[in-house]
């Protein structure tokens, strides 16, 4: 059974038994409409299958059976399959406001309650996202840290059924689409794509440093979202103008929030609240982005001489908001020195997004050293799988 589940197929025998049970249920439902029995026609004769008392039992022939409504049976089968594939049923999101929120302990407790967990913030405010079967426990744990705001719990089984099996009426679908704008982000890396989608992005457009999407790529992705207002997060300074150009082409209303880094984009999406008006959301997102400092570590592809020093091919380069700050032949020291440079004006949480070339042993060394140098600052790591940059991090 585990092998079949992994392959995404059902057990043929088990589904056959389910078909029999559902069929029997239908048969008994039809039987109850009569007077205790029915006849099955075969050619010109009929055979009584269940003795009834009183009036003559109802006859059911092959044509009658064809007319029976079996749509519910197939819906039930599909619902069973969906439920078996979703381990945690409820997508739970909540903002906690307090005075001494323990982010590290809170994250550990929330992670034990489900998967797709993301807990970010500081001592005053934390944003929680988790897929769980016990949203009540998530809220109870969050309540220990302070007051709860913008609580949102969605049944992912219902969402899946509505998206792939049950068609909403045109009126219901329209109301749902009008309620919130679509969020389109530009990113590259399976981990980053999963993070963005888990926190509310509707579409992720492939692109990033040295692989900018074209105007056509952005227009095509947004057009697929339908007749909806759309907010674009470029997440790279070189893509902002391309996004603005796409905005001029698309007929629907499009707003570009000029995020220039991945952490800025994540922060902006986390601050989007579909219950607020669009203008208020844009203000909140832009305000949150201004508080984020971004560090990026990449590898030099050629020799160069800059004001900060000589760069040799293969050296690690540390950038803060796009400017070279650190040059080293050791990636761990590059990360530590860059964090020190970025964090001079304060910070409470350092969040790393690890790239394809990041190594676990380096992650451990960086975390250990940072906790030694900055014992009051939380350090967290998420898999981003982005190319070219072993590490991207934010300080907030």
Instruction: Decide: helix, strand or coil at residue 260.
Output: coil
Instruction: Write the CB contacts of 172 (distance below 8 Å, at least 6 apart in sequence).
Output: none
Q: Spell out the CATH class of 170-290.
A: alpha beta
Span 26-50, pLDDT tens digits: 777 766 655 444 444 444 444 444 4
- Residue 390, CA distances (Å) to 209, 216, 322, 334 in order: 13, 29, 15, 11
Span 106-122, pLDDT tens digits: 999 999 999 888 898 88
Domain ranges of the chain: 2-85, 90-158, 170-290, 293-395
Residue ranges of the chain whose pLDDT lies below 70: 1-12, 15, 30-85, 160-179, 345-346
User: Which phi-psi region, left, alpha or beta, contains residue 292 (left: φ > 0; alpha: ψ -120 to 50)?
Assistant: beta
- Residue 290 CB neighbour total at 10 angstroms: 9
Tokens coding 363: 């992650």
Residue that the structure tokens 């305000």 belong to: 287
CATH number of 90-158: 3.30.70
CATH number of 293-395: 3.30.1180.10
pTM of the model: 0.59
Distance separating alpha carbons of residues 172 and 57, to the nearest angstrom: 44
């Amino acid at each position: 059974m585990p092998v079949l589940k992994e392959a995404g197929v059902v057990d043929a025998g088990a589904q056959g038994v389910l078909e029999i049970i559902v069929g029997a249920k239908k048969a008994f439902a039809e039987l109850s409409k009569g007077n205790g029995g029915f006849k099955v026609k075969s050619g010109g004769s009929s055979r009584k299958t269940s003795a009834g008392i009183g009036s003559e039992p109802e006859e059911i022939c092959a044509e009658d059976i064809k007319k029976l409504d079996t749509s519910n049976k197939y819906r039930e089968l599909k619902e069973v399959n969906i439920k078996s594939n979703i381990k945690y049923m409820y997508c739970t999101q909540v903002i906690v406001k307090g005075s001494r929120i323990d982010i590290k302990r809170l994250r550990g407790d929330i992670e034990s309650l489900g998967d797709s967990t993301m807990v970010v913030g500081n001592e005053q405010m934390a944003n929680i996202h988790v897929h769980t079967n016990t949203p009540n426990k998530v809220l109870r744990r969050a309540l220990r840290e302070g007051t709860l705001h913008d609580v949102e719990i969605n049944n992912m089984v219902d969402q899946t059924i509505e998206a792939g099996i049950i068609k909403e009426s045109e009126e219901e679908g329209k109301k749902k689409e009008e309620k919130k704008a679509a969020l389109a982000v530009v990113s590259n890396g399976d981990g980053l794509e999963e993070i963005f989608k888990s926190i509310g992005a509707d579409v992720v457009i492939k692109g990033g440093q040295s692989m900018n999407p074209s105007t056509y790529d952005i227009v095509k992705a947004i057009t697929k979202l339908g007749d909806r207002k759309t907010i674009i997060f470029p997440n790279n300074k070189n893509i902002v103008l391309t996004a603005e150009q796409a905005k001029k082409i698309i007929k629907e209303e499009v707003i570009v929030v000029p995020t220039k880094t991945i952490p800025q984009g994540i922060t902006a999406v986390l601050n989007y609240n579909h219950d607020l008006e669009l203008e208020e959301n844009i203000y909140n997102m832009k305000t949150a982005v201004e508080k984020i400092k971004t560090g990026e570590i990449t590898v030099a592809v050629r020799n160069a001489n800059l004001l900060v020093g000589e760069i040799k091919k293969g050296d690690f380069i540390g950038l803060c908001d796009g400017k070279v700050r650190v040059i080293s032949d050791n990636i761990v020291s590059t990360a530590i020195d860059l964090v020190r440079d970025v964090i001079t004006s304060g910070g409470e949480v350092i969040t790393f997004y690890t790239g394809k070339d990041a190594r676990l042993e380096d992650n451990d060394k960086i975390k250990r050293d940072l906790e030694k140098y900055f014992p009051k600052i939380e350090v967290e790591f998420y898999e981003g799988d982005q190319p070219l940059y072993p590490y991207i991090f934010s300080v907030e």
